[in-house]
Amino acid sequence: MSVPAVHAAPRTFPRGVHPPEEKHWSRDRKIEVLRAPPLVQIALHQHTGAPCTAVVQPRQTVAAGDIVGNSDALISAPVHTPVAGTVQRETVATLPNGRHVRVVPVQSAPDQPSPEALWNDLFGGEWPTDSISAMDPSEIVRAVRAAGIVGQGGAAFPTHVKLARNPKKPVDTILVNGCECEPYLTADERLMIEAPRPIVVGALIAARAAGASRVVVAVERNKPEALAAIRSVADSRGVEVLALETKYPMGGEKQTVRAALGRTIPTGGLPLDVGVVVINVSTAAAIARAVLRGRPLTHRVVSVTGPGIAEPKNLLVPIGAMYADLIAACGGLKPEAARVIAGGPMMGFSLGSFQSPVTKGTSGIVVLAGESARPPETPCVRCGRCVDVCPLNLVPTRLALAARHKDWPMAQRFHITACMECGCCAYVCPASIPLVQLIRTGKVQMQKEVAP
Amino acid sequence: MTSSASAPPTGGTTATAAARPREPRLTVAPGPHIADRSLTTQRMMADVLLALLPLVAVAIAQFRQYALFQIAVATSAAVIAEWVFARMRGRPATLWDGSAAVTGLILALSLPATAPWYSGAVGAIVAIGVGKAMFGGLGQNLFNPAMVGRAFAMIAFPAALGATAYVNPTLGLDALSGATPLTALKMSGNVTPVLPLVLGMTNGAIGETSALASILGGLYLCARRTASWEIPAGSIAALLIATGLPALVRGVSGWSPLHDLCAGAFLYGAFFIATDPVTSPLTPNGKWIFGIGYGLLVLMIRRLSGYPEGVMFAVLIMNALVPLINRATIPVPVGGPVPSPK
Amino acid sequence: MNYLATVLMLAIATALINNMVFHFFVGCCPFIGVSRKLDMAFGMGAAVTFVVSIAALLSWTFTYFILAPGAPLTTWLWRLLRPGSTAVVDLSILNYLVYIFVIAWAVQLVEMYVRKFFPALYKAFGVFLPLITTNCVILFTCLEIMKHVGPVPGSVPDPWGLDKALIYALFAGIGFLLAIVIMAGLREELEHCDVPASLRGPGITLVIAGILALAFLGFTGMDSSLARRLVPTAAPAAAPSAASAERPS
Amino acid sequence: MDRHLPTPAERFIRGILPENPVLRQVLGICPTLAVTNTMEGAITMAGAVLFVLTCANVLVSLLRPLLKPHLRILVFTLTIATFVTIADRFLAAYMYDMSKQLGPYIPLIIVNCIIIARCEVCGSKQSVPAAFLDAVGQSLGFALALGAIATVREVLGFGTWFGRWLGIRLLPATLSDRVWAPWTVMILPPGAFLTLALLLGAVNWAGARLQKAEVSR
Amino acid sequence: MNTHRLADAWLVLVLAMAFGASLAAVHAALKPRIDANKLNDTMSQVPMLVPGATRGERLVVADAPLYRAVDAAGMLVGWVVPASGQGFADRIEVLVGLDARAHRLTGLYVLDQKETPGLGDNVTREGWRTQFVGKPTDPPLQVRKGTAQAPHEIEAVTGATISSESVTAIVNAAVRRLREQLAAGTLR
Ligand SMILES: Cc1cc2nc3c(=O)[nH]c(=O)nc-3n(C[C@H](O)[C@H](O)[C@H](O)COP(=O)(O)O)c2cc1C
Ligand SMILES: Cc1cc2nc3c(=O)[nH]c(=O)nc-3n(C[C@H](O)[C@H](O)[C@H](O)COP(=O)(O)O)c2cc1C
Ligand SMILES: Cc1cc2nc3c(=O)[nH]c(=O)nc-3n(C[C@H](O)[C@H](O)[C@H](O)COP(=O)(O)O)c2cc1C
Ligand SMILES: Cc1cc2nc3c(=O)[nH]c(=O)nc-3n(C[C@H](O)[C@H](O)[C@H](O)CO)c2cc1C
Ligand code: SF4
Ligand code: SF4
Ligand code: SF4
Ligand code: SF4
Ligand code: FES
């Protein structure tokens, strides 16, 4: 496979939208370590793939980093406890996306490591690169799986699956996704500024595992500080850093690969089909941690931000902490708060209850204020603005219409299954039609009704 | 469940948030949670009315009380008809989205100054009743309502809306004493100079006389993205190329491509009528095809048919082709079509 | 007059200006009944175009040689039976009977032929063929052609040769095809519209047909001005023919 | 043999409204649209259909014991074409004006779906009286529909009703056209389509109303 | 197999015979009347189109019919020329009346037209047609919008210039044809 020259990369992709960035709420807030809450709830299914089953018993005491759940399936990843403490009876919690999952609650022991110690253990200290070239790729993959690493960019796909070599589909490039194109969110940005080293080293380890000769870190142009921080580490290690146009959804992997490498991922395909593995910056750091320090994925950075939260912050939180804990740590909601969103405002889910645990895929909590509700829906005026912005060149209004009328031949004619639910179409629709929601339910219903 | 009005509400259920004693009112709704609010349906219609102001101004300057009369009759008839038909169908009143006023005003501006009261009224009632309500109301009509109404009125009252209706020297308005530029060309080969066509000093339908006013309003609409620029661009390009190539070969004498551009309702139609989002294609490619088709049809009807102008017919014929255009221009998704399951 | 101009004029006049559906109202039943889906509509339109051309060929031939007043074949036979007779033999009373059987026979023939030699084509529009026997587009076209067939010079205004009859039929079919395909496109769109219950189906289809008929009025006069442009010597506004204004007698 | 077939009287009544060929079955649309710009045209066409349909239906009913299935349609067509020719010649001889106005639409009765449909549904199955009354009922229904459409079109389009035969003028000829003018469009094809569409809509609407009223009772 | 089919079809054959016979009877009974109707369309106009004429005599010249208008004594008083051409909507068919030497128009009648009712079909109105009566045939007639000024000008029907021009062009062509034939001596 020929590798296109770097300067051939367009640094952007066609269509897409430019929502207000709104990063100022939290971009300058240093990452704070959240003290371990008295109780954490570790979801047994926080990734794409098969759920785990608990491997601990109630009342069993566990140390921080102990395994709590595991599965034999290929597409799955174990879960670990972020705190030392006592296991309690398994219960069920509802994740923000509406999925009901089994959770293992762990009551935190009174003595937990200090914030500084925790930070140093996870991101600080030295990150040597000299041993990487000697590592055994399958060994890396095994370590990544054992650490329970799944994508932290949103989809939460088990990372070891992506890194495992497939002779039919050779990988030439590891693309580290530091775009963070959702408005408001700043977790990845802060991590790049404060811990560039593990990110770059993790990417190099991933490249060794996947057999890639090239490592590229792609960051949107609106994060100059992060770009500089990554460059200061990357340049000396042969890692390329690319500044991409600021545009939503630049972080979607189809768009990132197109903008950074000039390659087009086929519909229904993966970056793998064009010789690329895409990993999020936090994922990269987690890989370094797992391989070099043997630490599982137990903590992640979460932005708690927006005009409706008292003190916007970037928090390093134990996976399993409750949304309520995070909100409380940020001074609580302001009275004018109107909507609380798990994730970014474009693709995230609004919360009805804060009694949900943070999972490996949680990137932020955005609290909108004031008149944030979308205006009421009116009839589609066929203006075609949704068509003008769809990054995948679909015709959203037709997809929504087909979904609404359950006209599956029409839905297929307009390629409904290609939609990645990015929300650009609904964002611009002058008639406030819930296009993404219609398309999403349409896809599910179609699958049920036109069984092969 | 066939009606779009019965779709689930987008904002609504108030969550019982247990986080704080002060309990803000929180809403739960599907994403995206932010919206580009610079353009709503209502805002689009307001934009059109705003962009039509220069045309209205020229109309009033030129045709005085006659222009005011046409605008008053057609616009109020359209708005009243919208209200009545919405009531008859038991649908929520849709007056405030402003689309009926746009239809009425666009229709009014396409009438001759001296058209009798019933032509505007019948035109507006047919526009809203047959052109819009029968198809299910805003957003669902397949033909441009204003042009449906105008076509009906024009064929119903050919003497009042046809070529002869324009010339009326007895009313004491200079603007009404000569034939319209297109009629003058068709009937006696007289060529009107370009400048009066641009400024709006000729006879014609009250809103069509000034090319400049149409361009000003039209550029505003395109800049606001209320109207798709591809449609006027395609139609103007098609017209200029189709008239310009023969002119290059034979040379220009008298009636030039510029005349074709500025005379009659071509620009008014290209910017305000062909761009009706509801009745034009969805994709940029489709919009180009639509615009080019409009331009060529106008030219063909002007040159070859019994009518001096072809805007209305061209728009209706292209409207009829929109479903076929939409079908032929389904874009290929980035990354190619969805692979068939196998 | 220039032959090409004649053909072009006849084609435009037949397909667009005097469109079968929008001007003459013939073929309304299939136009309403078979225009719900685009592929069906196309099949129906193609089948009609095909059959109407064949029916035109047959009916012109029958009319010219056998049925019309003074038709050569009939006259010859009559003279054979009654040498010396000078009467003008006229079988035109049988016109309608003959046409309807010619059409029925042509449909059968076409069906058999297409099924045998063009199975793909048969799949596309074969199902419509039997329906076409009672399709008035075909009969109407035969009747229009009949008006222009007169073996005796001067017996009809504007007599047509077989070529013109065939062009007329072909474009009559194309006009119908155009109308039904446009309508099908619109109706597929309409399936997702909130049309009042009492107008769904035939009602709204007729409303659209009315609007299309309005739109097609825009083509009025195109044939004659095209002829004038192609043949600049023709008199303004009209290309008068010297033929009689009489009906065939 | 008559398995719950409607009685002759029922046949008659049904043809007029409940199974009106145009308004309920949407058959015979072409002549309905083509000849209804004047009442004279509508009534003449309805008369021709009455003649052809009655003769054809009765004859088919008479022949019904002899009909072989595969030759049925052939016999229908032959019969209909013959009676249409007779009607056509009769008009040409005695109502030359109307014959010129209706032109090809009289011969088109041959392929009119109403007639074939009646021969199929009633003539070939029921007795002569039933066939006769069915034909008359259907023709009256046809006349009713044509008359309704022609009334709307002639009154709006010309301002007259039976203008040529009876000279009834509803709009004074002296009315200034600043006040009101006849609608030429109603005489032209668009008016025909729209009038029939609205009439169908009105009939459906009234039908739905009646049904609702019955259900609630 | 074939004979079997034929046996099946006896009803059709019998019917065909019966229908054929009845049609022949209808034809025989009505044909004279129908023919008279058609001819009358034209013939009954002759006295109106040519003053002094009482009847027409049908000729066919160069494959086209033509009528000699003769008075009661059988003397030639003028000609009636059938002619047609394209109008606004469809063909317009007219009869043109001329004096014996084709110097003046003596009448105009529109046999058939499909122009727009209320507009183009005003060319059939007597008020408009009488303009043609008495017009000299040289130079050819011309349509004028507004009031006619020269003797060879015809006022257009308001709102229907195209129909007016069509009729005028048809008349001019008919005149030209008759004058050519007179000049060539094919007619007397
Ligand atoms: C619309 C859209 C926007 C996305 N935005 C981002 C982003 O800003 N940053 C990111 O890391 N991943 C983003 N993703 C996820 C990426 O497509 C991709 O899954 C991820 O970068 C892979 O890395 P991971 O497996 O480590 O999460 C987005 C996905 C979608 C569909
Ligand atoms: C929007 C619009 C559309 C029009 N469409 C037509 C048309 O399709 N046909 C036409 O004859 N006149 C149309 N007109 C009117 C002509 O532009 C105007 O009458 C022309 O200048 C002279 O035409 P007339 O001789 O029919 O008066 C339209 C006017 C407007 C404002
Ligand atoms: C519905 C309609 C029907 C028309 N019918 C005719 C017609 O039959 N004959 C005609 O000459 N012009 C007809 N016209 C008018 C022509 O378009 C053209 O404007 C006219 O011939 C110009 O004549 P004027 O200059 O006298 O107005 C019709 C116009 C309309 C709108
Ligand atoms: C750019 C633009 C152009 C429009 N043009 C028309 C028009 O030509 N005629 C009309 O009836 N409505 C027009 N509308 C209003 C509206 O789209 C119309 O009433 C819908 O067709 C009704 O469903 C326009 C609206 C916009 C935004
Ligand atoms: S943006 Fe909204 S209103 Fe416009 S076409 Fe798309 S769905 Fe319809
Ligand atoms: S949500 Fe789907 S249809 Fe809408 S813009 Fe994104 S990819 Fe396109
Ligand atoms: S059989 Fe043919 S003509 Fe009759 S209703 Fe059906 S489609 Fe129409
Ligand atoms: S039978 Fe033929 S002519 Fe008659 S209505 Fe049906 S489609 Fe029209
Ligand atoms: S009635 Fe016209 S095709 Fe059947």
Q: What is the CATH number of the domain that holds B218?
A: 1.10.3430
Look-up of token digits 């004058």: E179
pLDDT at C234 over 60: no
Mean pLDDT, chain E, whole residue set: 84
| A338 → closest Cβ in B19, B27, B44 | B27
Contact of C39 with chain A, judged by CB distance below 8 Å, is answered with no
Partners of residue D83 in chain C, C-beta under 8 Å: none
Q: Which of B315-324, E21-30, E37-46, E55-64 has the highest mean pLDDT?
A: B315-324
Which residue of chain D has the CA closest to E28?
A: D89
A1 is a domain residue: no
Pairing of strands A214-220, A240-244: parallel
pLDDT value of position A451 = 64
Do A319 and A288 belong together in one domain? Answer: no
Task: Decide if E14 touches D, using CB distance below 8 A.
Answer: no
How close D206 comes to chain B (CA, Å)?
Answer: 14
pLDDT, residue E31, reads 85
Q: Answer yes or no: do B163 and E159 touch at CB < 8 A.
A: yes
| Chain E contact set for D72 (CB, 8 A) | none
Mean residue pLDDT across chain A: 91
Residues A212 and A320 in one domain: no
Q: Considering CB atoms only, which of C182, C196, C219 is closest to B321?
A: C182
B83 in contact with C at a CB cutoff of 8 Å? no
pLDDT computed for residue A17 by the predictor: 95
Each residue's pLDDT tens digit, E135-147: 898 888 988 876 7
Ligand nearest to the CA of D29: 8
Domain end among A369, A398, A425 = A369
CB pairs under 8 A between D and E: 58
> In which band, very low, low, confident or very high, does the pLDDT at E112 lie, cut at 50, 70 and 90?
confident
Q: D187 touching E, CB under 8 A?
A: yes
Distance, C-alpha C137 to centroid of its chain: 6
pLDDT value of position C104:
84
Domain ranges of chain D: 8-216
pLDDT band at D1 (very low <50, low <70, confident <90, very high): very low
- Asked if D192's CB is within 8 angstroms of C210's CB, the reply is yes
**Residue C239 scores a pLDDT above 60:** no
CB contact under 8 A, D89 and E27: yes
**pLDDT level of residue D13 (50, 70, 90 thresholds):** confident
Residues of A in contact with B4 (CB under 8 A): 377, 379-380, 404
| Cα distances (angstroms) measured from residue A46 to each of A43, A95, A156, A359, A362 | 6, 9, 7, 6, 10
CATH code of the domain covering residue A247? 3.40.50.11540
Answer whether C238 sits within 8 Å of E63, measured CB to CB: no
What single DSSP character describes residue E89?
A: S
Q: What is the dihedral of CA A416, A421, A426, A432, to 10 degrees?
A: 80
E123: CA distance to ligand 2 center in Å?
Answer: 24
pLDDT confidence of B323, banded at 50, 70, 90? very high
* Min Cα–Cα distance to chain B from A121, Å: 32
Asked if residue B216 belongs to a domain, the reply is yes
Q: Whose CA is nearest to atom 7 of ligand 7?
A: C30
Atom of ligand 2 nearest to the CA of B183: 25
Do the domain assignments include residue B334? no
Query: Which residues form ligand 8's pocket by a CB distance below 6 Å?
Result: C 26, 28-29, 136; D 28-31, 108, 111-113
> For residues B74 and B107, what is the distance between their CA atoms, to the nearest angstrom?
7
Range of the domain at A334: 303-369
What are A80's strand-pairing partners?
A67
Q: Check residue A6 and give its pLDDT.
A: 47
**B335 located within any domain:** no
* Residue that the structure tokens 């058209």 belong to: B115
Instruction: Inform me whether the C-beta atom of residue B342 falls under 8 Å from chain A C-beta atoms.
Output: no
Closest CA to D142 of D162, D115, D160: D115
Contact: D184, E117; criterion CB under 8 Å:
yes
What mean pLDDT comes out for the span D161-187? 81
What is the total count of domains within chain A?
4
Please count the other Cβ atoms lying within 10 Å of the Cβ belonging to residue E50.
Answer: 26
Residue A104, in any domain of the structure? yes
Q: List all residues whose CB is within 6 A of at least one atom of ligand 3.
A: B 154-155, 158, 162-164, 187, 306-307; D 184; E 88-89, 115-116, 119-120, 145, 156, 158-163
Spell out the domain ranges in chain E: 36-184
- C-alpha A194/C-alpha A191 separation (Å) is 5
- Which residues lie with the beta carbon below 6 Å from any ligand 6 atom? A 390, 392, 394, 396, 399, 419-425, 435-436, 439
Q: Which of B112-126, B173-187, E78-92 is predicted least confidently?
A: B173-187
**Which of A93-102, A434-443, D61-70, E119-128 tops mean pLDDT?**
A434-443
- Rounded to a whole number of angstroms, the distance from the CA of D72 to the nearest CA of chain C is 14
Over residues A191-219, the pLDDT tens digits come to 999 999 999 999 999 999 999 999 999 99
pLDDT band at B127 (very low <50, low <70, confident <90, very high): very high
What are the chain C neighbours of B301 within 8 Å (beta carbons)?
218-219, 222
- Give CA–CA dist C244/B162, Å, rounded: 33
Let me know if residue A375 belongs to a domain.
no
State the average pLDDT over residues B63-92: 91
Chains in contact with B, where contact means 3 or more Cβ–Cβ distances below 8 Å, are: A, C, D, E
Whether residue B336 is contained in a domain is answered as no
Q: Do D90 and E116 touch (CB under 8 A)?
A: no
Average pLDDT, integer, range E8-29: 84
Cβ atoms of B225 and A389 within 8 Å: the answer is: no
Q: Tell which one of C21, C135, C180 to mutate to probe ligand 9, the residue whose CB is within 8 A of the most ligand atoms.
A: C135
A67–chain C nearest CA distance, Å? 54
Q: What is the CA radius of gyration of chain A?
A: 21
Q: Please count the structural domains in chain B.
A: 1
Q: Is chain D in touch with chain B: ≥3 Cβ pairs within 8 A?
A: yes
What CATH code is carried by the domain that includes residue A70?
Answer: 2.40.50
Distance between CA atoms of B270 and B227, rounded to whole angstroms?
10
Tell me what the mean pLDDT of segment D127-145 comes to: 91
**HEC assignment per residue over chain B:** CCCHHHCCCCCCCEECCCCCCCCCCEECCCCCCCCCCCCCHHHHHHHHHHHCHHHHHHHHHHHHHHHHHHHHHHHHHHHHHHHHHHHHHCCCCCHHHCHHHHHHHHHHHCCCCCCCHHHHHHHHHHHHHCCCHHHCCCCCCCCCHHHHHHHHHHHHCHHHHCHHHHCCHHHCCHHHCCCCHHHHHHHHCCCCCHHHHHHCCCCCCCCCCCHHHHHHHHHHHHHCCCCCCHHHHHHHHHHHHHHHHHHHHHCCCCCCHHHHHHCCCHHHHHHHHCCCHHHCCCCHHHHHHHHHHHHHHHHHHHHHCCCCCCHHHHHHHHHHHHHHHHHHCCCCCCCCCCCCCC
- Are D177 and B159 in contact (CB < 8 Å)? yes
- Interchain contact D18–C (C-beta under 8 A): no
Q: Which ligand is nearest to the CA of C33?
A: 7
Question: Measured between alpha carbons, how far is A232 from A224 in angstroms, rounded to an integer?
Answer: 12
D175 touching B, CB under 8 A? no
> Residue A431 Cα, ligand 5 centroid: separation in angstroms?
6
Q: Is residue B278 part of a domain?
A: yes
* φ/ψ (deg, to 5) at E95: -115, 130
Residue D33 has pLDDT above 80, yes or no: yes
Name which residue sits closest to atom 25 of ligand 2, judged by CA. Answer: B163
Residues of B in contact with C210 (CB under 8 A): 130
Question: What ipTM describes this predicted complex?
Answer: 0.86
Residue A137 pLDDT exceeds 60: yes
Asked if the Cβ–Cβ distance from B162 to E159 is below 8 Å, we say: yes
Nearest to C214 among B89, B134, B316 (CB): B316
> pLDDT value at position C127?
67
Chain D residues close to C48, C-beta within 8 Å: none
Average pLDDT over every residue of D130-150 = 92
pLDDT at B18: 44
Q: How many whole angstroms from its chain centre is CA E19?
A: 35
Give chain C's length: 249
Query: What letter represents residue B321's amino acid?
Result: L
How many angstroms does the Cα of residue B187 sit away from the middle of ligand 3?
12
What count of CB pairs under 8 Å joins A to B? Answer: 231
Q: Do D157 and E11 touch (CB under 8 A)?
A: no
Q: Examine residue B150 and state whether it is found in any structural domain, yes or no.
A: yes
Tell me, yes or no, if D78 comes closer than 8 A to chain E by beta carbon.
yes
In this structure, are residues A247 and A18 in contact, taking their beta carbons and an 8 Å threshold?
yes
In this complex, do D68 and E8 lie within 8 Å of one another by their Cβ atoms? yes
Look-up: residue for tokens 């994403």?
B31
- pLDDT for res C240: 38
- Find, in chain B, the residue whose alpha carbon is nearest to that of E163: B306
Structural domain range at position B173: 41-327
The residues pairing with D127 across neighbouring beta strands, listed in sequence order, are: none
Out of D27, D107, D201, closest to residue C198 by CB: D201
Percent of chain A whose pLDDT exceeds 70: 97
* List of chain C residues whose C-beta atoms are within 8 Å of the C-beta of residue B311: none
Exposure string of A86-124, with b = 16+ CB inside 10 Å and e = fewer, is: ebbebeebbbbeeeebbbbbbebeeebeeeeebbebbbe
**Domain annotation covers residue A257:** yes
- Give the lowest-confidence range in A285-289, C154-158, E13-17: C154-158
- What band does C187 get if pLDDT is binned at 50, 70 and 90? very high
Per-residue confidence band for A1, with pLDDT thresholds at 50, 70 and 90:
very low
- C220: CA distance to ligand 5 center in Å? 37
C-alpha E90 – ligand 9 centre gap (Å): 24
Same structural domain, A205 and A61: no
